[in-house]
């Protein structure tokens, strides 16, 4: 009696074929269109992740499917529609461009790695893109989550997706992960250049607010390093920009649900700064390498309304890193550091003829023994 294998079929193993190295850039994800059905499908996957919502499934899933997925998609779809680009979701557009530029920059430096991008929730999926890297001959894969500051709610979830894919593979590639790069010098330099570009173009505001994505306070109490890494990124950036502590603030946005989240909240900080007398405020989101709903709608649009309504006079949203050359160089620096020891150029790879000759010598030696 034949039993179905739980593993995906593999192509026949071929001797003498040079192995390749791949890099998978992974971002959070986005609906495929700014419509309620597409947003519902996206949220159903995103909010069902136990890493994202740490509530017992028996309690959470009825709330998710019975209330949230019935009411939130239409509201969120309208927000997505307000920031949608002709090419599609900003997050998808920027992430794809970053992967393409990373491939090009690495190529200019002599690396022949294969770079692809995926979304943790939505398309292209992590599993599909890992399959594509294997089809391209990659036997070593570096996974680069696009979260500079590590959190179990984000980076660890990417690792979960990779591990789930690995459970279906017979011939596993070597795997490495970039856990975090919150204090990578090239990343801090890229952030500083983005802010300075705005200063040169728009003038320097009275105050700089750094808004990071929020997470429940409980995650900090349970040992998640995210909050501390956000504060370190902020301190390093402030020092790099030459600002005094009173010239910059840190806040946390995108609160969801009734639980206590990291504070201070961005909304409350915007109101407080306006009431304090700050007239010209500039807001930057260092934890988001690519502009998305949370930066373009929540910060650039809603944040402006909050600040101006409380008496502020000028509000500048500083774009995310997106395809800024300094950020692509930072990605290259992070990737090259984590690829150390792996062959990444054609010169590093043994020629097929040499590999076959080695195999024949080994076989001959075994026969003599």
117 known member of a binding site = no
Structure tokens at 337: 């550091």
In the block, tokens 């079929």 appear at 9
The pTM score is 0.91
- What mean pLDDT comes out for the span 230-256? 97
- 345 band by pLDDT with thresholds 50, 70 and 90: confident
Q: List, as one string, the DSSP characters of 220-240.
A: HHTT--HHHHHHHHHHHHHHH
Containing 368, the helix (H) or strand (E) segment is helix 352-368
213 known member of a binding site = yes
Domains of the chain, CATH where assigned = 20-181+325-341 (3.40.50.1400), 185-317 (3.40.50.1400)
Kindly report, residue by residue over 305-317, the tens digit of the pLDDT: 999 999 999 999 9
Judged by DSSP in three states, 186 sits in helix
257: left (phi over 0), alpha (psi -120 to 50) or beta: left
Cα–Cα–Cα angle for 32, 33, 34, rounded to 5 degrees: 140
- 47 band by pLDDT with thresholds 50, 70 and 90: very high
The percent helix, strand, coil of the chain (3-state, each to 5) is 50, 15, 35
Which runs of E-coded beta strand occur in the chain? Answer: 20-29, 114-121, 138-145, 174-177, 207-213, 248-253, 280-284, 314-317
Q: Reply yes or no on whether the pLDDT at 55 is more than 80.
A: yes
191 burial level (CB within 10 Å; 0-12, 13-18, 19+):
buried
Residue 369 or 173, more confident: 173
Distance of alpha carbon 221 from its chain centroid, rounded? 24
pLDDT of residue 353: 46
- The sheet carrying 280-284 orders its strands as 248-253, 207-213, 280-284, 314-317
20: left (phi over 0), alpha (psi -120 to 50) or beta: beta
Contact indicator for 297, 261 with CB cutoff of 8 Å: no
- 8 band by pLDDT with thresholds 50, 70 and 90: confident
Q: Reply yes or no on whether the pLDDT at 278 is more than 70.
A: yes
pLDDT of residue 327: 98
Kindly report, residue by residue over 64-106, the tens digit of the pLDDT: 999 999 999 999 999 999 999 999 999 999 999 999 999 999 9
pLDDT of residue 305: 98
Q: Reply yes or no on whether the pLDDT at 352 is more than 60.
A: no
User: 288, 289, 224, 211: which is closest to 251 by C-alpha?
Assistant: 211
pLDDT of residue 150: 98
Q: How far is CA 132 from CA 9, 21, 306, 319, 344, in A?
A: 14, 12, 45, 32, 18
pLDDT of residue 12: 74
pLDDT of residue 351: 47
Mean pLDDT of the chain: 93
Q: What percent of the chain has pLDDT over 70?
A: 92
Task: Report the C-alpha gap between 333 and 11 in whole angstroms.
Answer: 34
In the block, tokens 């739980």 appear at 6
Half-sphere exposure of 98 (CA within 13 A, CB side): 32
Tell me the chain's radius of gyration from C-alpha atoms: 23
Cα–Cα–Cα angle for 222, 228, 232, rounded to 5 degrees: 170
- What mean pLDDT comes out for the span 207-227? 97
């Amino acid at each position: 009696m034949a039993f179905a294998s739980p593993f995906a079929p593999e192509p026949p193993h071929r001797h003498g074929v040079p192995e390749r190295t791949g890099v998978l850039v992974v971002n959070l994800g986005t609906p495929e269109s700014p419509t309620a059905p597409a947003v519902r499908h996206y949220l159903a996957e995103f909010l069902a992740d136990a890493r994202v919502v740490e509530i017992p499934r028996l309690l959470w899933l009825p709330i998710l499917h019975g209330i949230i997925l019935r009411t939130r998609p239409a509201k969120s779809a309208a927000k997505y529609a307000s920031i949608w680009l002709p090419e599609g979701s900003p997050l998808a557009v920027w992430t794809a461009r970053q992967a393409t530029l990373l491939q090009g920059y690495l190529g200019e430096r002599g690396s022949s790695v294969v770079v692809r991008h995926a979304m943790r929730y939505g398309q292209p999926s992590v599993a599909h893109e890992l399959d594509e890297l294997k089809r391209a001959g990659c036997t070593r894969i570096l996974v680069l989550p696009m979260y500079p500051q590590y959190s179990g709610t984000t980076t660890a979830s990417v690792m979960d997706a990779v591990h789930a894919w690995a459970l279906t593979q017979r011939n596993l590639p070597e795997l490495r992960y970039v856990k975090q790069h919150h204090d990578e010098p090239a990343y801090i330099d890229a952030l500083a250049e983005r802010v300075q570009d705005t200063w040169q173009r728009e003038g320097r505001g009275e105050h700089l607010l750094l808004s990071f994505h929020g997470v429940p306070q409980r995650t900090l109490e349970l040992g998640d390093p995210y909050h501390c890494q956000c504060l370190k990124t902020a301190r390093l950036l402030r020092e790099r920009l030459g600002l005094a502590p009173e010239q910059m603030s840190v806040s946390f946005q995108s609160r969801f649900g009734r639980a206590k989240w990291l504070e201070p909240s961005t909304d409350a900080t915007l109101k407080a700064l306006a009431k304090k007398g700050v007239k010209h405020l500039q807001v930057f989101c260092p934890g988001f390498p690519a502009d998305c709903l949370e930066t373009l709608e929540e910060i650039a649009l809603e944040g402006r309304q909050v600040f101006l309504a409380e008496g502020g006079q000028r509000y500048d949203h500083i774009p995310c890193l997106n395809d800024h050359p300094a950020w692509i160089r930072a990605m290259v620096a992070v990737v090259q550091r984590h690829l150390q020891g792996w062959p990444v150029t054609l010169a590093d790879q043994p020629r097929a003829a040499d590999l076959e000759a080695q195999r024949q010598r080994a076989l001959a030696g075994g026969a003599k023994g």
